[in-house]
Chain A
């Protein structure tokens, strides 16, 4: 990554008349003017960059050098599972044949594409302990919403319309309550115990016939396994509600325990976390949704199914919750995830979760003498520090996070979960070598030392990044969101 800011925008490289495209000559008569009356045509001239191809390529290459990715360095971003994205995934997804497949093409011409989708569905069923999956949701949050719609449709099908609430733990990611709200539910929070797990008594007191679902992650957002989950599942089901599994933290459970076996009814998986598809600076991801037996019929349209003759079809059903995407989701992301599952195989997947947990525990043990560990382990794939133990230095979690950038590490997740004031959430994933972890640990220890000896160095960080201390308040006070407003 370059330490110098590139900073130029493509619009500033534009010169009238320059072009960077290659199109065939027009071979037929007519065009826009003869087809569309003037009143329906664009009035204002379209102002787009006018640049040649080398300029475009250099611009984005230079700009990319101000970016940090998993390929650049260690990315211990808690709750985001930033594991290495194997290159074979990219090769598989860049398929010139798939690139040309139109969603409306006859099923007979897209059998291979449907089979890829179906094969991944089956693999996720085995990994999740579920009966059926849809791969249509585009992201984790979209999966949550889809899963809640499944639950809504299930209650509706039983004429059980009085269920208006969804229960979420107070440690839950903000997406859980937001998804429930978008799905039309009222949100009830359940308390956490001091060890970060759900207070089962508090949960019981809130369960009644007005509750549609309880949403949980397991392990939860502080990296603790919810050992009361069988009891919780029983109570939830006794109240007639369904138990939803937020798959954000599935990675450490690979090969160990399956959400379906824990008693969850509906779940989603983030393929861009557990199954190594790249995050792409925010997307495209994928948030497949799995359901236990008995809920398959509510999955969204279109569904991919295998017919009696062994061929595959994508079709709509009447009982579905409806439709949540134009077609079958972010298809090439699904191809990447299947490539990953094939490369690791049954045994490799089983090992991935355990090594992710080992890496997290290793960092935790080697730093807990300097950073405050509010919940003692063993943790699973991630853990949370509540800032430095020594609170007298004035150095905050934000400062520690920014100082890490100076040493070539991405920052951990900060100020989440909301259970602690100075949350610093670290998730190393299984793809990091012990040497990388040791170097990270050394740097974290050095930052703790700096905090005690020269706190200003940490408070003023970062010092070596292309950009330092952007003014967030000004950005929000007077939003400038296009070049034309600059």
Chain B
């Protein structure tokens, strides 16, 4: 299952774990990613609050957590090679979260609703 925030972060869910990253649409909008600022393993993130930031040459966006929980892993590959986010944003997640309240997922957009949102943003 994959769900989205309107601010373009996704949560790909496997059991009680959510892989959080940015959508292919967001990655394309940003352009070449040059830096991903992420929390450390063990930090807590809260649904709807920012947990880091992502930067391209021309833009910087805060990253918002789609779900609450503890960070069980930060994708350190992105420190040396942030452009992986552009190559395959769904494969190269940013943090892995042990969810404390999976019911938070209900409030997120499903694929169809998210696609509609992106289509609307493109005008």
Residues of A at the B interface (CB closer than 8 Å) are: 472-473, 476-477
Contacts and interface: CB of A to CB of B under 8 A. Distances in A.
A472 B56 CA distance: 10
Given A476-B35, A476-B55, 12 more contacts: A472-B57, A473-B32, A473-B34, A473-B57, A476-B34, A476-B56, A476-B57, A477-B32, A477-B34, A477-B35, A477-B82, A477-B83
A374 B35 CA distance: 35
Contacts of A477: 32, 34-35, 82-83
Contacts of A473: 32, 34, 57
B82 to A, nearest CB: 7
A472 B34 CA distance: 10
A401 to B, nearest CB: 15
A477 B56 CA distance: 9
Interface of B: 32, 34-35, 55-57, 82-83
A331 to B, nearest CB: 35
Contacts of B83: 477
A472 B31 CA distance: 12
13 contacts: A472-B57, A473-B32, A473-B34, A476-B34, A476-B35, A476-B55, A476-B56, A476-B57, A477-B32, A477-B34, A477-B35, A477-B82, A477-B83
7 smallest beta-carbon distances between A and B, as pairs: A476-B34, A477-B34, A473-B32, A472-B57, A476-B57, A473-B57, A473-B34
B42 to A, nearest CB: 28
Contacts of A472: 57
A440 B83 CA distance: 40
A472 B82 CA distance: 15
A257 B96 CA distance: 58
A476 B82 CA distance: 11
B33 to A, nearest CB: 9
Contacts of B34: 473, 476-477
B61 to A, nearest CB: 14
Contacts of B35: 476-477
Contacts of B55: 476
A462 B82 CA distance: 30
A476 B34 CA distance: 6
A162 to B, nearest CB: 23
A473 B83 CA distance: 10
A472 B83 CA distance: 14
A185 to B, nearest CB: 18
A196 B28 CA distance: 29
A473 B57 CA distance: 6
A467 B26 CA distance: 32
A69 B73 CA distance: 51
B65 to A, nearest CB: 20
Nearest to A473: B32
Contacts of B56: 476
A473 B35 CA distance: 11
Nearest to B83: A477
Most buried by A among B32, B34, B35, B83: B34
A472 B55 CA distance: 13
Contacts of A476: 34-35, 55-57
A476 B56 CA distance: 8
A216 to B, nearest CB: 25
Among B32, B55, B83, the one with the most A-chain Cβ atoms within 10 Å of its Cβ is: B32
Nearest to A471: B57
Nearest to B31: A473
A477 B55 CA distance: 10
A477 B83 CA distance: 9
A469 to B, nearest CB: 13
A107 to B, nearest CB: 47
B21 to A, nearest CB: 19
A419 to B, nearest CB: 14
Nearest to A477: B34
A473 B82 CA distance: 12
A473 B56 CA distance: 8
A10 to B, nearest CB: 28
Nearest to A478: B34
B19 to A, nearest CB: 24
A476 B55 CA distance: 9
A475 to B, nearest CB: 8
A208 to B, nearest CB: 24
A40 to B, nearest CB: 35
Nearest to B81: A477
B29 to A, nearest CB: 13
Nearest to B34: A476
A1 to B, nearest CB: 26
A103 to B, nearest CB: 38
